[in-house]
Chains A and B, each alone.
Chain A
Amino acid sequence: SQQGEEDPQALSIQEGENATMNCSYKTSINNLQWYRQNSGRGLVHLILIRSNEREKHSGRLRVTLDTSKKSSSLLITASRAADTASYFCATGWTSGGSYIPTFGRGTSLIVHP
């Protein structure tokens, strides 16, 4: 299975602090994506990182990928109460027109104002 699993399952921090979430997977991938989900809503794409990339930034988000350890991390700097959500990694292998993403169980982040 290419299953991505996030760690920790839950994270509670104060506004202004940084939040780090990790994702581990089992088999080869050619990309890894991070998504956010607010309670009962659809997923919002945050960042896609390809297997030949090691780090990517988007605003307050920083994603790293270590293919030798089959792991990725998502860092949210200077967190805000609005960052409260569940965060998921999705791993997958693209072959031609095929792609099956596998989502982990997610990290539930609570940012206290």
Chain B
Amino acid sequence: EPEVTQTPSHQVTQMGQEVILRCVPISNHLYFYWYRQILGQKVEFLVSFYNNEISEKSEIFDDQFSVERPDGSNFTLKIRSTKLEDSAMYFCASSEDAGGEQYFGPGTRLTVT
């Protein structure tokens, strides 16, 4: 069964450093998403991506964040200068259509020290 994969599973970085989180969505999906979940809190939408551009983004997704689909398979989330409060699980998801069933990856646990 096709699945969304994410790497790394755990990333530890120092405050102020740049991190890139990687995702490989399901191959025939057209819509891609990033979410974050701070420990013990709800899943929060960050950004959606369709047709090689951002379609929606939340208030959390400020200038420190960017997304890219550098080739036909990868979908990345970059945080330029990490802060302590960026520590969270980051989930990638993909879907065939907007508003449809989303398939989530296993997540990357980002720890900023």
Partner of A96, one of B44, B89, B98, B100: B98
The interface residues of chain B lying within 8 Å CB-to-CB of A40 are 89, 107
A100 touches B48 (CB 8 A): yes
CB proximity of B69 to chain A, nearest CB, Å: 15
How far, in whole Å, are A103 and B38 apart by their CA atoms in the complex?
13
Which of under 10, 10 to 19, 20 to 34, or 35 or more describes the interface residues of A? 20 to 34
Q: Kindly identify, within residues 26 to 71 of chain B, every residue whose CB is under 8 Å from any CB belonging to chain A.
A: 31, 41-45, 48, 50-51, 55-56, 58
How far, in whole Å, are A102 and B56 apart by their CA atoms in the complex?
13
Given A97-B31, A97-B51, A97-B55; A102-B98 close (CB under 8 Å): no
24 sample A-B contacts, Cβ–Cβ < 8 Å, listed by A number: A42-B4, A42-B91, A42-B104, A42-B107, A43-B102, A43-B104, A45-B101, A45-B102, A88-B42, A88-B43, A93-B99, A94-B98, A94-B99, A96-B98, A97-B31, A97-B50, A98-B56, A101-B45, A102-B45, A103-B42, A103-B43, A103-B44, A104-B42, A105-B42
B99 touches A30 (CB 8 A): yes
How far, in whole Å, are A102 and B59 apart by their CA atoms in the complex?
13
The interface residues of chain A lying within 8 Å CB-to-CB of B98 are 94, 96-99
CB proximity of A23 to chain B, nearest CB, Å: 12
How far, in whole Å, are A94 and B31 apart by their CA atoms in the complex?
12
The interface residues of chain B lying within 8 Å CB-to-CB of A94 are 98-99
Partner of B106, one of A33, A41, A88, A93: A41
Partner of A44, one of B43, B51, B89, B104: B104
The interface residues of chain B lying within 8 Å CB-to-CB of A41 are 106-107
Partner of B101, one of A30, A48, A97, A102: A48
